[in-house]
Amino acid sequence: MTPISLGIFASANQGAAAGSFESIATVTVGAGGSSSVTFSSIPATYTHLQIRNIARTTASQDRDSIKLTFNSDTGSNYARHSLWGSGSAASAYGAASEAYVLLTDFAAASATASIYGAAITDILDYANTNKYKTVRSLGGVDLNAAVTVYDGLNSGLWQNTNAITSITLTPFTGSNFAQYSHFALYGIKGAA
Amino acid sequence: MPAGATYDCIATTTLGSAQATVTFSSISGDYTDLLITGQIKGTQNAALLLRVGNGSVDTGSNYSVTTFAARYNQGSVDVASERYSSITSIYASGSTWYSGTNFGTLQMNLANYSNTTTNKTIITRLDTVENANYCGPSAVVGLWRSTSAINIVTFSNNGGNFDVGSTFSLYGIKAA
Protein backbone atom coordinates (compact mmCIF):
# COMPACT_ATOMS: atom_id res chain seq x y z
CA MET A 1 0.00 0.00 0.00
CA THR A 2 0.99 3.59 -0.39
CA PRO A 3 2.95 5.16 2.42
CA ILE A 4 1.64 8.45 3.71
CA SER A 5 4.12 11.31 3.70
CA LEU A 6 3.00 14.62 5.03
CA GLY A 7 5.25 17.58 4.34
CA ILE A 8 5.03 20.43 6.78
CA PHE A 9 5.58 23.92 5.56
CA ALA A 10 6.60 26.95 7.50
CA SER A 11 3.26 28.54 6.85
CA ALA A 12 1.29 25.58 8.14
CA ASN A 13 0.55 27.02 11.53
CA GLN A 14 0.05 30.65 10.71
CA GLY A 15 -3.59 30.47 11.65
CA ALA A 16 -2.91 29.15 15.12
CA ALA A 17 -3.24 31.36 18.14
CA ALA A 18 -0.18 31.91 20.28
CA GLY A 19 0.39 28.96 22.55
CA SER A 20 3.07 26.62 23.77
CA PHE A 21 1.44 23.40 22.48
CA GLU A 22 0.62 23.47 18.80
CA SER A 23 -0.77 20.94 16.39
CA ILE A 24 1.68 20.59 13.49
CA ALA A 25 0.11 17.88 11.34
CA THR A 26 -2.23 14.92 11.52
CA VAL A 27 -2.63 11.75 9.49
CA THR A 28 -5.67 9.50 9.53
CA VAL A 29 -5.12 6.31 7.55
CA GLY A 30 -7.75 5.75 4.90
CA ALA A 31 -9.33 2.69 3.37
CA GLY A 32 -6.68 0.33 2.05
CA GLY A 33 -4.24 1.16 4.79
CA SER A 34 -0.77 2.63 4.64
CA SER A 35 2.65 0.99 4.87
CA SER A 36 4.10 3.91 6.83
CA VAL A 37 3.40 7.41 8.03
CA THR A 38 5.99 10.15 7.64
CA PHE A 39 6.00 13.67 8.97
CA SER A 40 8.57 15.62 6.97
CA SER A 41 9.88 19.19 6.83
CA ILE A 42 9.33 19.55 10.55
CA PRO A 43 10.24 23.11 11.53
CA ALA A 44 12.87 23.67 14.22
CA THR A 45 10.76 26.29 15.96
CA TYR A 46 9.72 24.14 18.90
CA THR A 47 11.59 22.74 21.89
CA HIS A 48 10.00 19.30 22.01
CA LEU A 49 7.73 17.20 19.83
CA GLN A 50 4.89 14.92 20.87
CA ILE A 51 3.13 12.25 18.83
CA ARG A 52 -0.28 11.11 20.01
CA ASN A 53 -1.63 8.15 18.11
CA ILE A 54 -4.00 5.26 17.96
CA ALA A 55 -3.07 2.40 15.65
CA ARG A 56 -3.91 -1.04 14.41
CA THR A 57 -1.86 -3.01 11.90
CA THR A 58 -2.59 -5.74 9.38
CA ALA A 59 -0.19 -8.26 10.96
CA SER A 60 -1.68 -11.75 11.19
CA GLN A 61 -1.61 -11.76 14.98
CA ASP A 62 -3.45 -10.00 17.76
CA ARG A 63 -0.93 -7.25 18.44
CA ASP A 64 1.96 -5.45 16.81
CA SER A 65 4.50 -2.70 17.52
CA ILE A 66 5.60 0.39 15.64
CA LYS A 67 9.10 1.25 14.48
CA LEU A 68 10.07 4.89 14.87
CA THR A 69 12.95 6.34 12.81
CA PHE A 70 14.26 9.84 12.16
CA ASN A 71 15.53 11.63 9.05
CA SER A 72 15.25 8.41 7.01
CA ASP A 73 18.08 6.87 9.05
CA THR A 74 17.60 3.09 9.00
CA GLY A 75 21.11 2.31 10.22
CA SER A 76 21.92 0.71 13.54
CA ASN A 77 22.02 4.07 15.28
CA TYR A 78 19.30 3.63 17.85
CA ALA A 79 19.08 2.18 21.34
CA ARG A 80 15.88 1.27 23.12
CA HIS A 81 14.59 0.10 26.46
CA SER A 82 11.19 -1.04 27.61
CA LEU A 83 9.36 -1.77 30.84
CA TRP A 84 6.02 -3.47 30.37
CA GLY A 85 3.25 -5.51 31.86
CA SER A 86 1.79 -8.48 30.01
CA GLY A 87 -1.18 -8.94 32.29
CA SER A 88 0.58 -11.65 34.26
CA ALA A 89 4.17 -10.48 34.62
CA ALA A 90 6.29 -7.38 34.47
CA SER A 91 9.36 -7.41 32.26
CA ALA A 92 12.13 -5.25 30.89
CA TYR A 93 14.17 -5.24 27.71
CA GLY A 94 17.04 -3.25 26.33
CA ALA A 95 18.98 -3.26 23.09
CA ALA A 96 21.78 -1.19 21.60
CA SER A 97 22.62 -0.63 17.95
CA GLU A 98 19.10 -1.12 16.71
CA ALA A 99 17.63 0.23 13.50
CA TYR A 100 14.66 1.87 15.21
CA VAL A 101 13.01 2.85 18.47
CA LEU A 102 10.06 0.60 19.21
CA LEU A 103 6.67 1.79 20.40
CA THR A 104 4.51 -0.88 22.05
CA ASP A 105 1.84 -2.19 21.70
CA PHE A 106 -1.05 -1.88 19.27
CA ALA A 107 -3.85 -4.09 18.02
CA ALA A 108 -3.40 -6.19 14.88
CA ALA A 109 -5.57 -8.16 12.48
CA SER A 110 -6.51 -11.02 14.81
CA ALA A 111 -7.74 -8.70 17.53
CA THR A 112 -11.41 -7.90 17.83
CA ALA A 113 -12.42 -5.36 15.23
CA SER A 114 -12.51 -1.75 16.37
CA ILE A 115 -9.80 -2.18 19.00
CA TYR A 116 -6.80 0.11 18.54
CA GLY A 117 -3.75 0.60 20.74
CA ALA A 118 -2.67 4.07 21.81
CA ALA A 119 0.57 5.83 22.65
CA ILE A 120 1.93 9.20 23.61
CA THR A 121 5.51 9.73 22.53
CA ASP A 122 7.75 12.65 23.45
CA ILE A 123 10.82 13.54 21.40
CA LEU A 124 12.92 15.82 23.52
CA ASP A 125 15.08 18.72 22.32
CA TYR A 126 14.66 17.42 18.79
CA ALA A 127 16.28 20.39 17.06
CA ASN A 128 19.37 20.61 19.25
CA THR A 129 22.50 19.91 17.22
CA ASN A 130 24.71 19.19 20.23
CA LYS A 131 22.84 16.22 21.67
CA TYR A 132 21.77 12.75 20.72
CA LYS A 133 17.99 12.61 20.71
CA THR A 134 16.00 10.97 23.48
CA VAL A 135 12.51 9.54 23.12
CA ARG A 136 10.05 8.37 25.75
CA SER A 137 6.67 6.78 25.22
CA LEU A 138 3.71 5.52 27.22
CA GLY A 139 1.42 3.18 25.38
CA GLY A 140 -0.40 -0.08 25.14
CA VAL A 141 -3.42 -2.03 24.12
CA ASP A 142 -5.94 -4.15 26.00
CA LEU A 143 -7.80 -6.76 23.96
CA ASN A 144 -10.37 -7.84 26.54
CA ALA A 145 -9.18 -11.39 26.12
CA ALA A 146 -7.03 -13.93 27.89
CA VAL A 147 -4.05 -13.26 25.68
CA THR A 148 -0.82 -11.50 26.33
CA VAL A 149 -1.15 -7.78 26.00
CA TYR A 150 1.29 -5.06 26.71
CA ASP A 151 1.20 -1.74 28.37
CA GLY A 152 4.29 0.03 29.37
CA LEU A 153 7.01 2.55 29.08
CA ASN A 154 9.48 2.77 26.25
CA SER A 155 12.57 4.91 25.90
CA GLY A 156 14.88 5.34 22.97
CA LEU A 157 18.01 7.08 21.82
CA TRP A 158 18.94 8.21 18.32
CA GLN A 159 22.70 8.51 18.28
CA ASN A 160 22.88 11.49 16.01
CA THR A 161 23.25 15.21 16.68
CA ASN A 162 21.38 16.35 13.60
CA ALA A 163 18.14 18.18 14.13
CA ILE A 164 15.16 15.93 13.51
CA THR A 165 13.35 17.11 10.42
CA SER A 166 11.36 14.01 9.58
CA ILE A 167 9.75 11.17 11.54
CA THR A 168 8.65 7.86 10.04
CA LEU A 169 6.40 5.32 11.74
CA THR A 170 6.20 1.80 10.33
CA PRO A 171 4.46 -1.36 11.57
CA PHE A 172 6.97 -3.77 13.09
CA THR A 173 5.39 -6.92 11.65
CA GLY A 174 2.39 -5.95 9.62
CA SER A 175 2.64 -4.62 6.12
CA ASN A 176 0.20 -1.79 6.77
CA PHE A 177 -1.46 0.43 9.32
CA ALA A 178 -5.17 -0.27 9.23
CA GLN A 179 -7.82 2.23 8.32
CA TYR A 180 -8.65 4.77 11.04
CA SER A 181 -5.18 4.61 12.56
CA HIS A 182 -4.51 8.17 13.59
CA PHE A 183 -1.23 10.04 14.15
CA ALA A 184 -1.04 13.62 15.40
CA LEU A 185 2.24 15.53 15.69
CA TYR A 186 2.50 18.43 18.13
CA GLY A 187 5.19 20.99 18.83
CA ILE A 188 5.88 22.18 22.35
CA LYS A 189 7.54 25.55 22.77
CA GLY A 190 9.86 26.54 25.56
CA ALA A 191 9.87 29.90 27.24
CA ALA A 192 11.26 32.67 25.04
CA MET B 1 -4.32 23.29 9.10
CA PRO B 2 -4.97 24.31 12.69
CA ALA B 3 -6.71 27.36 13.93
CA GLY B 4 -7.00 28.41 17.54
CA ALA B 5 -5.53 26.86 20.62
CA THR B 6 -4.74 23.15 20.56
CA TYR B 7 -4.56 22.50 24.30
CA ASP B 8 -7.49 23.81 26.30
CA CYS B 9 -8.40 23.48 29.94
CA ILE B 10 -12.05 22.44 29.83
CA ALA B 11 -12.80 22.12 33.53
CA THR B 12 -11.10 21.84 36.90
CA THR B 13 -12.43 20.85 40.28
CA THR B 14 -10.84 20.92 43.72
CA LEU B 15 -12.80 19.14 46.41
CA GLY B 16 -13.83 21.28 49.36
CA SER B 17 -15.36 18.30 51.06
CA ALA B 18 -14.98 14.56 50.70
CA GLN B 19 -17.13 13.07 47.98
CA ALA B 20 -17.67 9.69 46.41
CA THR B 21 -17.51 10.62 42.75
CA VAL B 22 -16.13 13.29 40.45
CA THR B 23 -17.85 13.70 37.09
CA PHE B 24 -17.11 15.69 33.97
CA SER B 25 -20.21 15.74 31.78
CA SER B 26 -21.36 17.35 28.53
CA ILE B 27 -17.80 17.11 27.21
CA SER B 28 -17.50 18.73 23.82
CA GLY B 29 -16.54 16.55 20.88
CA ASP B 30 -14.42 19.34 19.44
CA TYR B 31 -11.09 17.80 20.45
CA THR B 32 -9.07 14.79 19.36
CA ASP B 33 -7.80 13.60 22.74
CA LEU B 34 -8.69 14.27 26.34
CA LEU B 35 -6.16 14.47 29.15
CA ILE B 36 -7.23 14.29 32.78
CA THR B 37 -4.69 15.23 35.40
CA GLY B 38 -5.19 15.00 39.10
CA GLN B 39 -3.73 14.96 42.54
CA ILE B 40 -5.83 12.48 44.42
CA LYS B 41 -6.20 11.28 47.98
CA GLY B 42 -8.76 8.75 49.12
CA THR B 43 -10.34 8.35 52.51
CA GLN B 44 -9.50 4.66 52.47
CA ASN B 45 -7.27 2.22 50.69
CA ALA B 46 -9.05 1.64 47.37
CA ALA B 47 -8.59 1.56 43.64
CA LEU B 48 -9.29 4.52 41.42
CA LEU B 49 -12.17 3.63 39.12
CA LEU B 50 -13.14 5.27 35.84
CA ARG B 51 -16.38 4.85 33.96
CA VAL B 52 -17.21 6.65 30.74
CA GLY B 53 -20.21 6.93 28.48
CA ASN B 54 -22.25 8.86 26.01
CA GLY B 55 -25.10 10.72 27.68
CA SER B 56 -24.87 8.51 30.73
CA VAL B 57 -22.11 6.49 32.32
CA ASP B 58 -21.81 2.90 31.12
CA THR B 59 -22.01 0.60 34.16
CA GLY B 60 -22.02 -2.61 32.13
CA SER B 61 -19.21 -5.13 31.81
CA ASN B 62 -17.77 -3.33 28.83
CA TYR B 63 -14.35 -2.46 30.17
CA SER B 64 -11.04 -4.29 30.42
CA VAL B 65 -7.71 -3.31 31.83
CA THR B 66 -4.06 -4.31 31.92
CA THR B 67 -1.87 -2.82 34.63
CA PHE B 68 1.84 -2.60 35.29
CA ALA B 69 3.18 -1.32 38.59
CA ALA B 70 6.40 -1.05 40.50
CA ARG B 71 5.71 -1.11 44.21
CA TYR B 72 7.75 -0.20 47.21
CA ASN B 73 6.55 -1.25 50.61
CA GLN B 74 8.72 -0.50 53.59
CA GLY B 75 11.94 -1.72 52.10
CA SER B 76 10.70 -4.42 49.75
CA VAL B 77 10.23 -3.84 46.06
CA ASP B 78 8.30 -5.76 43.48
CA VAL B 79 6.86 -5.25 40.03
CA ALA B 80 3.61 -6.76 38.90
CA SER B 81 1.16 -6.85 36.04
CA GLU B 82 -2.51 -7.78 36.14
CA ARG B 83 -5.29 -8.12 33.59
CA TYR B 84 -9.05 -8.12 33.94
CA SER B 85 -11.53 -8.61 31.12
CA SER B 86 -15.22 -7.69 30.89
CA ILE B 87 -15.33 -5.68 34.09
CA THR B 88 -17.55 -2.75 35.02
CA SER B 89 -14.89 -0.03 35.14
CA ILE B 90 -11.34 0.82 34.31
CA TYR B 91 -9.22 0.96 37.39
CA ALA B 92 -5.82 2.45 37.94
CA SER B 93 -3.76 -0.02 39.87
CA GLY B 94 -2.43 0.92 43.25
CA SER B 95 -4.10 2.63 46.07
CA THR B 96 -5.78 6.01 46.10
CA TRP B 97 -5.14 6.23 49.82
CA TYR B 98 -2.21 8.16 51.11
CA SER B 99 -1.50 9.22 54.61
CA GLY B 100 -1.30 12.77 55.85
CA THR B 101 -1.05 15.31 53.10
CA ASN B 102 0.38 12.96 50.48
CA PHE B 103 -1.53 12.95 47.22
CA GLY B 104 -1.05 10.63 44.27
CA THR B 105 -0.67 12.04 40.78
CA LEU B 106 -2.81 11.03 37.84
CA GLN B 107 -2.34 11.50 34.10
CA MET B 108 -5.06 9.80 32.07
CA ASN B 109 -5.26 10.04 28.29
CA LEU B 110 -8.46 9.27 26.41
CA ALA B 111 -7.25 8.77 22.86
CA ASN B 112 -9.57 9.75 20.01
CA TYR B 113 -12.41 9.90 22.49
CA SER B 114 -14.98 11.38 20.14
CA ASN B 115 -14.60 9.19 17.08
CA THR B 116 -17.49 6.83 16.42
CA THR B 117 -15.51 4.15 14.61
CA THR B 118 -13.15 2.62 17.15
CA ASN B 119 -13.34 1.27 20.66
CA LYS B 120 -11.70 3.64 23.11
CA THR B 121 -8.25 2.99 24.54
CA ILE B 122 -7.31 4.90 27.68
CA ILE B 123 -3.70 5.02 28.88
CA THR B 124 -2.85 6.20 32.35
CA ARG B 125 0.04 6.94 34.64
CA LEU B 126 -0.76 6.89 38.35
CA ASP B 127 2.08 7.60 40.74
CA THR B 128 1.84 7.34 44.47
CA VAL B 129 4.44 9.17 46.49
CA GLU B 130 4.97 8.66 50.14
CA ASN B 131 7.95 8.85 52.40
CA ALA B 132 7.88 5.36 53.82
CA ASN B 133 5.03 3.08 52.96
CA TYR B 134 3.42 1.51 49.95
CA CYS B 135 3.98 3.58 46.86
CA GLY B 136 5.19 3.46 43.32
CA PRO B 137 4.56 4.29 39.68
CA SER B 138 2.08 2.43 37.55
CA ALA B 139 1.01 2.36 33.93
CA VAL B 140 -2.47 1.26 32.94
CA VAL B 141 -4.10 0.61 29.60
CA GLY B 142 -7.87 0.34 29.60
CA LEU B 143 -10.42 -0.43 26.95
CA TRP B 144 -14.03 0.67 26.67
CA ARG B 145 -15.70 -1.59 24.14
CA SER B 146 -17.91 0.94 22.49
CA THR B 147 -17.69 3.00 19.34
CA SER B 148 -19.76 5.78 20.91
CA ALA B 149 -18.12 9.12 21.48
CA ILE B 150 -17.23 9.75 25.11
CA ASN B 151 -18.93 12.81 26.56
CA ILE B 152 -19.07 11.90 30.23
CA VAL B 153 -16.44 10.51 32.60
CA THR B 154 -16.86 9.63 36.26
CA PHE B 155 -14.20 8.79 38.80
CA SER B 156 -14.89 6.93 42.01
CA ASN B 157 -12.83 5.54 44.83
CA ASN B 158 -14.23 2.00 44.95
CA GLY B 159 -16.45 2.41 47.97
CA GLY B 160 -14.59 5.23 49.64
CA ASN B 161 -14.47 8.95 49.11
CA PHE B 162 -12.02 11.31 47.53
CA ASP B 163 -10.62 13.48 50.26
CA VAL B 164 -10.62 17.25 50.63
CA GLY B 165 -8.04 18.91 48.41
CA SER B 166 -8.14 16.31 45.66
CA THR B 167 -7.99 18.00 42.27
CA PHE B 168 -9.11 16.87 38.83
CA SER B 169 -8.50 18.84 35.64
CA LEU B 170 -9.85 18.02 32.19
CA TYR B 171 -7.97 19.18 29.09
CA GLY B 172 -8.89 18.93 25.44
CA ILE B 173 -6.21 18.51 22.77
CA LYS B 174 -6.99 19.34 19.16
CA ALA B 175 -5.23 17.96 16.11
CA ALA B 176 -4.62 19.73 12.83
Residues B93, B78: contact at Cβ < 8 Å?
Answer: no
Does residue B49 lie in a domain region? no
3-state helix/strand/coil string of chain A:
CCCEEEECCCCCCCCCCCCCEEEEEEEECCCCCECCEEEECCCCCCCEEEEEEEEEECCCCCEEEEEEEECCCCCCCEEEEEEEECCCCEEEEEEEEECCEEEEEEECCCCCCCCCEEEEEEEECCCCCCCCEEEEEEEECCCCCCCCCCEEEEEEEECCCCCCCCEEEEECCCCCECCCCEEEEEEECCCC
CA distance A85 to chain B (A): 5
Does residue B164 lie in a domain region? yes
Distance, in Å, from the CA atom of A188 to the CA atom of B42, rounded to the nearest integer, reads 33
Does residue B54 lie in a domain region? no
Side-chain half-sphere CA neighbours of B146 within 13 A: 18
Does residue B55 lie in a domain region? no
Mean pLDDT by groups of 10 residues along chain B of 176 residues? 70 96 97 95 84 98 91 77 93 65 89 96 85 72 97 92 94 92
pLDDT for A109 equals: 97
Cis peptide before B127 (omega within 30 of 0): no
**pLDDT tens for each residue of chain A, 192 residues long:** 667 776 654 333 333 334 789 999 999 999 999 999 999 999 999 999 999 999 999 999 999 999 999 999 999 999 999 998 888 888 899 999 999 999 999 999 999 999 999 999 999 999 999 999 999 999 999 999 876 667 789 999 999 999 999 999 999 999 999 999 999 999 999 876
Does residue B117 lie in a domain region? yes
Nearest by CB to residue B81, choosing from A12, A86, A138, is: A86
Q: Which domain holds residue B114?
A: 7-44+62-173
Q: CB of B19 within 8 Å of any CB in chain A?
A: no
Nearest by CB to residue B143, choosing from A84, A142, A150, is: A142
Does residue B56 lie in a domain region? no
Does residue B112 lie in a domain region? yes
Distance, in Å, from the CA atom of A33 to the CA atom of B9, rounded to the nearest integer, reads 34
Nearest by CB to residue A180, choosing from B65, B80, B117, is: B117
Separation of CA A89 from chain center: 25
Is B82 close to A26, i.e. CB distance below 8 A? no
Contacts of A52 in chain B (CB under 8 A): 32-33, 109, 111, 173, 175
ipTM greater than cut 0.85: yes
Does residue B11 lie in a domain region? yes
Nearest by CB to residue B139, choosing from A88, A118, A138, is: A138
Is B111 close to A144, i.e. CB distance below 8 A? no
Number of domains in chain B: 1
Interface test with A, best of B82, B113, B141, B146 (most A CBs within 10 A): B141
pLDDT for A140 equals: 94
Q: CB of B17 within 8 Å of any CB in chain A?
A: no
Note the residue count of chain A: 192
Distance, in Å, from the CA atom of B13 to the CA atom of B18, rounded to the nearest integer, reads 12
